[in-house]
Chain A
Amino acid sequence: MSKGRFGIHGGQYIPETLMNAVTEVEKAYFKYKDDPEFNRELTKLYNDYAGRPSRLYYAKRLTKELGGCKIYLKREDLNHTGSHKINNVIGQMLLAKRMGKTRVIAETGAGQHGVATATVAAMMGMECEIFMGREDTVRQALNVYRMKLLGAKVHAIDSGTATLKDAVTETFREWTKRIDDTHYVLGSVMGPYPFPQMVRDFQSVISREIKMQILEAEGKLPDAVLACVGGGSNAIGAFYHFIEDKGVRLIGCEAAGRGIDTFETAATVNTGRVGIFHGMKSYFCQDNYGQIAPVYSISAGLDYPGIGPEHAYLHDIKRAEYVPVTDDEAVNAFEYLSRIEGIIPAIESAHAVAHAMKLAPAMDKEQIMVINISGRGDKDCAAIARYRGEDIYE
């Protein structure tokens, strides 16, 4: 009966009210995913609107400074709207149009998915409403302004911890109120089937490109691919086409906040256990009675108590590794990459850079590492300055 499993994870744990809506998405997705016309349109928007393919850049100075393997950066930060989020949004919006929807709703943490959704909604002439935890609207005020500028309505959510988890909950609630004309553009590889599969497929363009680009540049596959993980969409995108290539280490970098030995963490695989929430079975940070934990990370985009079900499965079968990275380490990496390469990464992506800084020196010179720079860090500058005690506001 149950659909969309990755091992024991995944499924469709949602209210009956939404079941037909989700089934409609599933049917539309399978109808169009291999449709030549749909894919032609998708590729055209990827290229002409989002600016794909994104570059794979050999980080010469970073490689030299760390003194280990060769390091390449996958530049998802160069996409239109400044992150990988647009890959999924374009795909889902094309689908929503074909499903006859005129209105889209979406959750956002750091604001990157909200901005991408508002952007594509503007371009396609669709009504757009974004749900964002109030705490995050403060942390990411600039992105709130961008969304409004793009014509979206932004709802600040006060329930729960007023962060990403609550934004997801509230968007699901909104969807149960208004289904006929509305599609929920879920921003990560999470939620009920078919979202984890569909979002992964739209994001897998990242690893498809990396594979071609690295083979062209080096004539061989990388030894390791690193990406930050909250829900896990940029990571699964960067991992997907390497899953079968067992020689490629896949490393997801979780937000450990103030450390995995504290309660102020969002490192789901490292501190959570299997549970059922937000439409899926997966790992969640929770207490002994299954109450979802109030997680914490400096990064609003990784500040989520769960992880996508495919990551949970890749962890279970030991195909991918999930490592914790603290706020401090991420902020150091944010500043380091800015200084060494002239690339300001999103604080989310900086978590992957931070782990690369630990791992690269221990790898051989002939080995190759790819770090997915999932987004650009302009949005984080004020918050990082505040973290360092400089009182600047946008």
Chain B
Amino acid sequence: MSNIYKAFEKHKAFIPFITCGDPDLETTEKVVYEMVDAGADLIELGIPFSDPTAEGPVIQEANIRALGDNNNVTTDDIFELVIKLRKKVTVPMVFMTYANVIFSYGSEKFISRCKETGIDGLILPDIPYEEKDEFDPICKKYDIDLISLIAPTSHDRIKTIASDASGFIYCVSSLGVTGTRNEITTDIGAMVKLVKDVKNIPCAVGFGISNPKQAEKMSKHADGVIVGSAIVKIIAKYGRKSPEYVGEFVRSMVADIR
């Protein structure tokens, strides 16, 4: 078991997502410090991928900025960043990326480096329950939690997924890809209940949460909220000057869910 449970111990967890290297790694580092300072309980670090199939336009563009010619951020650069971050940051940190980034690096090499550098878990949107064995045995060996996702279409699958889950469960709030939404219509409470019937594991809701009001509403039904696109939009707007703006935004979200 990793340290992820600590993020949910005291109160509803606020989990911000950013893409590493957007607009550059120095800014990513500063943004993380600001978010932790503002009360973030768990940090989700995106490793950019050329073809992020589960992402909407906002995070797609962040991936392009991170992988662009001037920047060209690599997996090794991101491990170096994590080493730096871990000197100051004590809250749990997880990577969000795609299967090929890990597979191509060498699954065992990647996951053992996660352990060495202080990464607690992995969120992989293209690894459903059926393909867990691609990485999970290695994750278990190194105490890294492979986070399970459940979606509004999961229905009868939730029981199976939950019983085998570790760290926390990522509840996908809506159909489609990541991105801010005006309204979330899925019955999150019902999804979370199905999980809790099987296993006492924290549930965090993500996809589409963009303002304190939504965050507050979602946090009533779950143990935490994940916010990505809304933060990435701020970074896209303010670039290197974004850390303070992100900090301000996280502060307002944290205030409303607690």
Interfacial residues, chain A to chain B (CB-CB below 8 A): 1-3, 11-21, 159-160, 165-166, 169, 172-173, 176-179, 273-279, 284, 286, 288-292
Contact = CB atoms under 8 A, between A and B. Distances in A.
Given A1-B129, A13-B99, A177 B105 contact: no
Given A276-B126, A277-B100, A20 B49 contact: no
Given A2-B131, A277-B100, A292-B100, A13 B126 contact: yes
A290 B100 contact: yes
Contacts of B128: 12-16, 19
A17 B50 contact: no
Nearest to B154: A16
Contact of A19 (B129, B133, B134, B177): B129
B214 interface: no
A290 B157 contact: no
Contact of A275 (B60, B74, B100): B100
A15 B175 contact: no
B172 interface: yes
B197 interface: no
Task: Report which residue of A19, A159, A178 has the largest number of chain B beta carbons within 10 angstroms of its beta carbon.
Answer: A19
B103 A275 contact: yes
Interface range, B side? 35 or more
Interface in B131-180: 131-134, 149-155, 157, 161, 172, 175-177
Contact of B175 (A17, A159, A169, A289): A17
Contacts of A19: 128-130, 153-154, 157
Given A275-B100, A277-B100, A15 B50 contact: no
24 contacts: A2-B130, A2-B131, A2-B134, A11-B130, A15-B125, A15-B128, A16-B125, A16-B128, A16-B149, A16-B151, A16-B157, A16-B161, A19-B157, A20-B155, A21-B153, A177-B177, A275-B104, A277-B51, A277-B98, A277-B99, A289-B104, A290-B101, A290-B103, A292-B51
Contact of B51 (A20, A160, A177): A160
B150 A16 contact: yes
B129 A16 contact: yes
Interface of B: 49-51, 53-54, 60, 67, 74-75, 98-105, 125-134, 149-155, 157, 161, 172, 175-177
Question: Which 10 A-B pairs rank lowest in CB-CB distance, beginning with the nearest?
Answer: A290-B104, A177-B176, A17-B151, A276-B99, A291-B50, A290-B100, A16-B149, A292-B50, A16-B151, A13-B126
B130 A12 contact: yes
B150 A291 contact: no
B64 to A, nearest CB: 9
A18 B157 CA distance: 12
Given A289-B101, A290-B104, A291-B49, A11 B60 contact: no
Given A15-B126, A15-B151, A16-B154, A178 B103 contact: no
A123 B244 CA distance: 58
Contacts of B131: 1-2, 11-13
Contacts of B105: 289-290
Contacts of B104: 273, 275, 286, 288-290
Nearest to A179: B153
A145 B51 CA distance: 28
A96 B62 CA distance: 36
Given A15-B54, A173-B53, 4 more contacts: A15-B125, A16-B151, A165-B51, A275-B100
A173 B157 CA distance: 21
B103 A276 contact: yes
Nearest to B47: A289
Nearest to B60: A159
Contacts of A169: 51, 53
A31 B133 CA distance: 28
B53 A172 contact: yes
Contacts of A176: 54, 175-177
A96 to B, nearest CB: 18
A2 B126 contact: no
A284 B100 CA distance: 10
Nearest to B48: A291
A15 B67 contact: no
A11 B75 CA distance: 25
A60 B248 CA distance: 77
B136 to A, nearest CB: 10
B191 to A, nearest CB: 12
Contacts of B60: 159
Contact of A20 (B99, B132, B153): B153
A169 B50 CA distance: 11
Nearest to B78: A289
Contact of A286 (B100, B149, B177): B100
A278 B134 CA distance: 16
Nearest to B124: A13
A166 B153 CA distance: 25
Contacts of B157: 16, 19-20
Contacts of A277: 51, 98-100
A3 B129 CA distance: 11
A227 B25 CA distance: 46
